[in-house]
Structure 1
Amino acid sequence: MAITTTVDQVTDDLTRLRFVMVNLYFLGTADNWVLIDAGLPGSKTSIIETAEARFGKGARPKAILLTHGHFDHVGAFPDLLEHWDVPVYAHSVELPFLTGAADYPPPDPTVGKGVLALLSFTYPNKGIDLGSKVHALPEDGSVPFMPEWRTVPVPGHSAGQVAFFRERDRCLIAGDAFVTTKQESLYAVMTQEEEVSGPPAYFTPDWREAQRSVEKLVALNPEIAATGHGTPMRGEELRQGLAELVHHFDEIAVPDHGRYVPEEKKG
């Protein structure tokens, strides 16, 4: 069983459950809520316990929405689906990795930046097969069961990664398009040292797409950002961090070496 280290409230209807190295989120109210991402392997019990503490005994989501399908965002499957039996939604481009049709590009432990990057050769990149449980998110950008929210495609870290955005309070659930700690560093992850950073370098195969995705999210002018890794950030601290990331993306986010580094950065 994964170790639950933090449960905290991001907004009145958004709750973060943090495991050692990754976040997932509960969005909504007792009569209408969804789970966003599915954590690490072995996290089923913690997810269910947190859901019941938040929404009441026997609570079950309307659906599970995936920002993307990397191993640390789908780890509770298939156990969680056996318990809840609810639909899963992801971007259509991500479906091959969730139906057993494709595997992700392998992680790159040569990117440097820290121990977690060095260990990434051990991280699974094999796709999973959710069969008929998984469905494509609506092409019009609407979010199932969450009418105030819209889907924002943010490829780069994975081909079909998405974020979710609500205009009313400019709340952004960013997936791993950017994160708020240096995910490559064991020290930063364990201490949750806050720093707006690019997507985890060891698992990002397309840096130019990742850069365009960050620019797209910055243009939304989010007030609150709940990311796949790191502590939720808001206000001026978030805006300054994102501005710095956009203006110095290659220096902050893109590693100096590695199999996926753009040729112009290598040069």
Structure 2
Amino acid sequence: MDVIRLHPHLHQIRFPIGHAYLWEAADGLTLIDSGLPGSAPMIADAVRSLGRRPGELRRLILTHFHEDHVGSAADVAAWGDVEVLAHRADAPFIRGDAAGPPPQVLDWERPIFEQSQAALAGFPPPAPVRVDRELDDGDLIDLGGTPAVAVSAPGHTPGSVAIHVPEERVLFTGDTVARLDDGRVILGVFNVDPPLAAETFTRLAALDTEIACFGHGEPVTEDAAARLREAARE
């Protein structure tokens, strides 16, 4: 686990599989995604490494229901007065009221999918977690004095949600967008509706963004909108 400062208020928590992101404000912290089951102690260590306390967490935003994003949400939500937010369409899957739909795995994705499933096989299923606030497109979220906007991002899952922070030009894409080891920005893989995911990618690329944070792959920290638009055209 590594903690990387991306912006005066923003830190990436890098896990072996996927990432979480921590937004700092004077009156509390916001965590975007929670990693695989068992990640809560590492997230707590990341918080302490910044001179903050886990009990300062005020909100946990879940970009979608997959286990590498909600795996430790129940543990993190128990740290104190934590509001859990997720899109309305994925909330039943996160709460454990229903099983989420499987992805349409394209032929070229099959080897990657099998590899990822093998890597996840040793982890228990995520514990259900409450969702205190169900998000819709355009909803405002207060990140401790900085406004953010929920952007519906269906396609990867029915209720994937991106978070845009217009004042700071930061975008959290969840798994709609990914970045390869060679630096290329691509449409994320393992989508329940690949054509809809591609449409969502184009919509996210149109936002005014300097820093783009992905669920998988390293963030783009300069002129991210241009990188996303170029990838969307391709």
Query: What's the TM-score, normalizing by structure 1?
Result: 0.76
* Structure with higher strand content: 2
| 1:60 aligns with one of 56, 59, 81 | 56
| 2:139 aligns with one of 135, 141, 145 | 141
Equivalents in 1 of 2:165, 2:96: separation in Å? 32
Q: Which structure has the larger Rg?
A: 1
| 2:186 aligns with one of 182, 187, 197 | 197
The answer to whether the Cα contact below 8 Å between 1:32 and 1:61 also exists between their aligned partners in 2 is yes
Residue aligning to 1:244: 230
The answer to whether the Cα contact below 8 Å between 1:109 and 1:119 also exists between their aligned partners in 2 is no
5+ residue gaps, structure 1, are 182-191, 249-267
Give the C-alpha shift of residue 215 in structure 1: 0.9
The answer to whether the Cα contact below 8 Å between 2:33 and 2:73 also exists between their aligned partners in 1 is no
Equivalents in 1 of 2:54, 2:128: separation in Å? 26
The answer to whether the Cα contact below 8 Å between 1:34 and 1:63 also exists between their aligned partners in 2 is yes
Counterparts of 1:92-107 in structure 2, within 5 Å, are 92-107=88-103
Counterparts of 1:138-217 in structure 2, within 5 Å, are 140-146=138-144, 147-181=146-180, 192-199=181-188, 201=189, 203-217=190-204
Q: Secondary structure at the match of 1:163?
A: strand
**Which one is further off, 73-82 or 204-213?**
73-82
Equivalents in 2 of 1:178, 1:208: separation in Å? 14
Deviations along 1:8-45, whole A, 9 cap, x unmatched?
01111010001012010111224222111011111111
Give the C-alpha shift of residue 247 in structure 1: 1.7
* Structure with higher helix content: 1
Structure 1 position 83 matched with structure 2 position 79: yes
Residue aligning to 1:10: 6
- Taking only the aligned residue pairs, the percentage that are identical comes to 29
Query: What's the TM-score, normalizing by structure 2?
Result: 0.86
Counterparts of 1:38-77 in structure 2, within 5 Å, are 38-77=34-73
Q: CA RMSD in A?
A: 2.6
Deviations along 1:71-121, whole A, 9 cap, x unmatched?
000111322233345221001111111122222223566633475422344
Equivalents in 2 of 1:78, 1:166: separation in Å? 25
Deviations along 1:198-256, whole A, 9 cap, x unmatched?
11x2x2110121111111111113111011111111335x44532332222xxxxxxxx
5+ residue gaps, structure 2, are none
The answer to whether the Cα contact below 8 Å between 2:92 and 2:98 also exists between their aligned partners in 1 is yes
Give the C-alpha shift of residue 165 in structure 1: 1.1
Give the C-alpha shift of residue 139 in structure 1: 6.1
